Amino acid sequence: MKLAAKLTAIVCFAIPVLSNEAVAQQNTLRQQLVGTWTVLSFTNENERTGKKTEVFGSNPKGIFMFDETGHFSINLLRPGRPKFGYRDFPSVAAAKAALEGIITMFGTYKVNESEHSVSLDVIGGSYPTWDNSHQKRFITINGDELTYRNPTPASGGGTAVVILKRAGTAEK
């Protein structure tokens, strides 16, 4: 009788734990993508030559947000951009450096589960040619790490690869 009670207890506690793990593994790519991600690296990878270039240096800054309602915001920047000499009135050189050191866009998105891709309908961005455009990216999510690939980057030839980690709770 004691053996039956122990087996019943094991089954009662093990099944919910196993089913929670199974449910977590069954989350769709879209469900996994939802949230806020912080940039760890941003490189251009030339598949022909094997060369990798750190587009915004060794410590790029940025945040990607994908919400449950299908909206996104992407902000990437190169640290160390020159400060403007007089607050909001940059020289031509400073304005050029500021623009070349930032990538932003926002709009709506859809995930294609079978292609592991994200279709971005860009409402606006740091490059005016992106306004009202449609762009496609390829993503892989492994736990709290997101690999975001752009086969047609503005930053030059090859494929832009951004590695991100899921953001934790913001500190106040």
Kindly state the tokens that stand for 10: 């094991």
Q: Tokens 């069954």 — which residue?
A: 26
| 101-to-112, 127, 148, 168 alpha-carbon distances in Å | 30, 12, 19, 26
C-beta separation of 165 from 145 below 8 A = yes
Element (H, E) at 82: none
pTM, to two decimals: 0.80
- Give the pLDDT of the chain (172 residues) as one tens digit per residue: 565 555 444 444 444 444 444 444 579 999 999 999 999 999 999 888 889 999 899 999 999 999 999 999 999 999 998 888 877 788 888 888 888 899 999 999 999 999 999 999 999 999 999 999 999 999 999 999 999 999 988 766 789 999 999 998 776 6
Where b means 16+ CB within 10 Å and e means fewer, 13-49 reads eeeeeeeeeeeeeeeebbebbeeebebebbbbbeeee
Residue 91's pLDDT is 86
Longest dimension (CA), the chain: 85
The fold of the 34-166 domain, in CATH, is: Lipocalin (2.40.128)
Residue 47's pLDDT is 85
Q: Measured between alpha carbons, how far is 52 from 49 in angstroms, rounded to an integer?
A: 9
The dihedrals phi and psi of 86, each to the nearest 5 degrees, come to -130, 95
Residue 4's pLDDT is 53
SS3 state of residue 22: helix
Q: Tokens 């709770």 — which residue?
A: 169
